[in-house]
Structure 1
Amino acid sequence: MSTTATLIDALKQELKTAGMTYATLAGKLGMAESSVKRMLARGEMPLSRLDAICAALKIDFADLARSVADARPLLAELTLAQEKAVVADKKLLLTAICVLSQWTLEQITAYYRMTEAETIARLVRLDRLGIIELRPLNRYRLKLAKTFRWRPHGPVMHFFREHALLDYFSGGFDREDESLMLVHGSISKSLAPSFIERMQRVAQDFAQAHQADQKLPAQHREGYTLLLAMRSWDFEGFEALRRR
């Protein structure tokens, strides 16, 4: 559905919510009811008319635009082509990871050796890829769902398996603010999805805490990476010891 069609649908929903008929709206606009119906059916109207409709409904156009943006479906996963484009440029991949954590332009350039121009160029590319909606003053809206994840066998996960996984697990995990837990057991397959759901909630709690703590001074914040995983797996080194 086009943005215009979505906007018209949002207007119709506002009319319904306000209990305003086409006839009442026509009276407020000084138009014939048939003209209002035709205008909304075609989705063709000047901005001045749109402003007049918003005034009749006693809503702000910014609120209407926000409802249109919120109505758009969010991505739970990128396409293969999108992931390939992200991985092809290391700075673009870095910027994508930062926006997933809702970092601002200022935070990215303060933490990483990227100029403002370089970072803005990457934000523009992420906008064109449909990952964010770039807004004035280089602010953005993330167009990814809370359940978003990289493709399990896609280019991004391949990159991390090849370049980052061993580096991550080479840490000692021995500080008070670090932990590495390995738990193995046999449970019914019906229980596994509930554990996955709990893990997703932990990940969301972590992301929300990150956003809330952005108001703290930089010296009071530390960069952490939370890695949650669960799969049906036996260590390859023990495979020869299994009873068949």
Structure 2
Amino acid sequence: MNDEDTAGPVSESRSAPGEAHARGADLEARRHRQSRLLKTVLKQQIRIRGMRYKDIADQLGVSVMTVKRYLNSERVPVETLEDIGACLGLGLLELAEIAKADDSGDALDLELQQETELAADYALALMRLLLYSGMTVPEIMEEYAIDEPTVVRLLARLDRLKLIELLPGNRVRIRGTRHVEWRPGGPIRRTIENDIRKNFVAMDFANTEEFFGYESVRLTKSSIRQLEGHMRNLVRQVRTLHRIDQGAKSEEKQWYTLFVAQRETNWGFPVNQGQRLIPRARGGPAYPSLPATLPHGDLDPDR
């Protein structure tokens, strides 16, 4: 009798450590998988931005070998991955969103197909933009007075492209990250460039009463990397403002486009016959471009 009374509790107490160990192992496996996904995303984003591990190392104040170890070691603190993401202008939540999108089996295989179809159909691309901005289908229909068959056709195409999940009642669930990094040289980048040339640059900046900034300065490579970081942070701040204004009434909001860019400008010094001398310290063409440019000019007042 006494043996039976004690057998149950002893058996239960022995099984509890085993269950706790299993739960701990499962948690550790999930953390390891999440860390692996984040490191994969970081490597992809470094390539997409045309950066090198040395660029990351310089910003973190560590060696290139240390950065490689961070991105390839089994156990890396999430804070370290967050620091690397900050060098790319990406927060931990944005990295997680990208990782979630890339974790689906065929997400990367469809990337070029997605971009190609969006670039070829303005209505399809605009519908994606509106949905990813947080607008609901009823809001879009009311805002643009679009008939339901047209909306359903576009939603079905976005669903086939795996950009959204079309639910009953024309409700949608966004698939992947809301803020896409379009591939350099890809169809969407070319479409955006054409739009900038045709519509944005053609605006009357000279007479605008809104903020307009234009600075031409000489910077080191280190300062240029810092500048690019500030530019990415500005874009992130705009996204934050967008999220804050999600709850505002539609009539209180207006669409705005933020264009943030920088480029190398080797100012050419004008000489005879419309030719220009380029700075001796830099190779490459003069800015602005002219038919003829003489090499090896000297614009450095310190020489």
TM-superposed CA distance for 1:70, in Å, is 6.7
Q: Tell me how far 1:107 sits from its aligned partner.
A: 3.0
Aligned counterpart, 2:136? 104
Residue in structure 1 matched with residue 12 of structure 2 by the alignment: none
Separation in structure 2 between the aligned mates of residue 207 and residue 70 of structure 1, nearest angstrom: 14
The answer to whether structure 1 residue 196 and structure 2 residue 214 are counterparts is: no
Gaps of 5+ in 2: 1-18, 24-95, 267-286, 297-303
- Say yes or no: does 1:170 pair with 2:222: no
Q: Percent sequence identity over matched residues?
A: 25
| 1:158 to 2:158 alignment | no
Q: Structure 2 length as normaliser, TM-score?
A: 0.49
Once the two structures are TM-superposed, the CA of residue 135 in structure 1 deviates from its matched residue by 4.3
The answer on 1:144 being equivalent to 2:144 is no
Does residue 141 of structure 2 align to residue 114 of structure 1?
no
For 2:251, the aligned partner's letter is: Q
2:165, 2:174 within 8 Å by CA — same for their partners in 1? yes
| Paired position in structure 2 for 1:90 | 122
What residue identity is the alignment partner of 1:122?
A: L
Distance in 1 separating the partners of 2:191 and 2:181? 14
TM-score between both structures, scaled by the size of structure 1: 0.59
1:150/1:157 contact within 8 Å kept: yes
How far off is 1:185 after superposition? Answer: 1.9
How many residues are paired up?
179
Residue 288 of structure 2 is aligned to residue 236 of structure 1: yes
CA deviations on 1:142-161 (whole Å, 9 max, x unpaired) are: 41264x32222111222233
Superposed counterparts of 1:10-89, under 5 Å: 19=20, 21=22, 73-74=100-101, 79-89=111-121
Q: Closer, same or farther in 2 for the Cα pair 1:215/1:243, shift >3 Å?
A: same
Deviation at 1:91, TM superposition (A): 0.7
* CA RMSD after TM alignment: 3.3
Q: Deviations over 1:52-97 (max 9, x none)?
A: xxxxxxxxxxxxxxxxx97963359873222111122221011122
Relative contact order, CA 8 A, sep 6+: which one is greater? 1
Change (3 A) 1:124 1:205: farther
Structure 1: stretches of 5+ with no match in the other structure: 1-17, 23-68
**Is contact 1:131-1:143 (8 Å) kept?**
yes
Per-residue deviation, 1:223: 1.4
> Is the contact made by 1:87 and 1:159 (CA closer than 8 Å) also made in structure 2?
yes
